[in-house]
Amino acid sequence: MAITRIAYGVMNGKDVHAFIIENSQGAKAQIIEKGATLEKLLVKDKNGDFIDVLVGHDTLDGHINRSDYQGVVVGQYANRIKGGKFTIDGTEYNVTCNEKGITCLHGGGEYSSAHWNGEIISDNAVKFTYLSPDGAEGFPGNVNVSATYTFTDDNRLIIEYKAVSDKKTVINLTNHAYFNLNGYDSGDVLDHTLKINADRYTPIDEVSIPTGELPSVTGTPFDFTVSKTIGRDIDADHPQIKNGMGFDHNFCIADYDGKLKEIAVATGDRSGITMTVSTDLPGVQLYTGNFLDGSVVGKGGKPITKRSAFCLETQVYPDSPNHPEWHKCIYDADEEYHTVTEFAFSL
């Protein structure tokens, strides 16, 4: 195992570094300090070639000016908060509505836009830290956050998140990696197979806010309990598919118990690469790149096109601050938020 730290650029007067973790097989994970962004992930395909399975950007300018959250850590609250409003102990907080002026998406973009300080902590792990000041994007509390990336010899990428606030606040962190297991420049992901261990999902309204219902996936396009291609039902005649322009929904993990366990398996149809996702969180957002339209240039100067990638964002359900009946997302002052998500790659 080895880690290389290199200069990557300058953002807001601060040097940005990239950290490359290489395992004994020659596979590599590259993470940059802007947004604690997972930028590249090179693993072997069935032909023995290393391919980059992350769709996104390979320049700092791309990450700053053209990113659709590719590879970043998002917070303080990942996904959406209805109307940018929630209440804690009788106090209403109004946070940034950065999506169409009516919804708070990914905490207003604060964590993903921030400079995180990277530190090599072992021969295969880098810890990124950030201090979110009280009131940033409207969220209460000075929040000390860390995201530690570990890449193992058996091709497991482990992301461990920790956060502590000095005020009672909402916390929900995830990584927004866009995957194409055939390679970042290989076209759409419609023939990838996907299985998700979820028996329910959260329907959304016309502005992508959960309705509050938690219906069964059985008999719907949202049933991934048996492996199927991503494209099989992506254009189904279903009101929820129309609302999301495809899949852009939270799936509720079956038999959730708060422990780390396998929740999804995806396989690239041409590469033979399988990605197994494990987490201790209760939900995962499947997003199939429905709003990518080719207008943004990504890696290698190539446009990022519709459905050229998929995301599996482990999380607490969207808008949970306004649904106390769902899973915990409010943390007391000095109470630690701690969660782990793992992406394991095999053939």
Query: Confidence class of residue 53 from pLDDT cuts 50, 70 and 90?
Result: very high
pLDDT digits (tens, 9 = 90+) for 213-251: 999 999 999 999 999 999 999 999 999 999 999 999 999
CB atoms within 10 A of CB 64: 16
Query: Confidence class of residue 282 from pLDDT cuts 50, 70 and 90?
Result: very high
* 327 noted as active-site residue: no
**CA 168 vs CA 8, 130, 162: distances in Å:** 36, 18, 15
Query: Strands, DSSP E only, in 153-247?
Result: 156-165, 169-170, 174-175, 178-179, 193-196, 198-202, 228-229
**CA 154 vs CA 147, 307, 346: distances in Å:** 21, 29, 8
Distance CA 72, CA 27 (A): 20
- Reduce the DSSP state of residue 108 to 3 states and report it: helix
Distance CA 243, CA 224 (A): 19
* Percent residues over pLDDT 70 in the chain: 100
Residue with tokens 């601050």: 321
- Reduce the DSSP state of residue 1 to 3 states and report it: coil
DSSP secondary structure code for residue 298 in this structure: -
What is the separation, in whole angstroms, between the first and last Cα of the chain? 21
pTM, entire model:
0.98
pLDDT score of 218: 98
Distance CA 327, CA 249 (A): 17
What's the average model confidence in pLDDT over 291-308? Answer: 96
Catalytic residue, chosen from 33, 137, 313, 342, is: 313
Query: Confidence class of residue 293 from pLDDT cuts 50, 70 and 90?
Result: very high
pLDDT digits (tens, 9 = 90+) for 169-193: 999 999 999 999 999 999 999 999 9
Ordered by where they begin, the domains of the chain are 2-346 (2.70.98.10)
pLDDT score of 149: 99
What's the average model confidence in pLDDT over 42-50? Answer: 98
For residues 252 and 203, the answer to whether their CB atoms sit within 8 Å is: no
pLDDT score of 313: 98
* 323 noted as active-site residue: no
- Residue 61 sits at φ, ψ, to 5 deg, of -60, -40
* CA quadruple 201, 206, 209, 211: dihedral sign: negative
Count the alpha carbons within 13 Å of 149 in the hemisphere toward its beta carbon: 35
Burial 16-36 (b: 16+ CB within 10 A, else e): bbbbbbbbeeebbbbbbbbbb
Catalytic residue, chosen from 176, 192, 249, 327, is: 176
pLDDT score of 177: 98
Count the alpha carbons within 13 Å of 126 in the hemisphere toward its beta carbon: 26
pLDDT digits (tens, 9 = 90+) for 303-342: 999 999 999 999 999 999 999 999 999 999 999 999 999 9
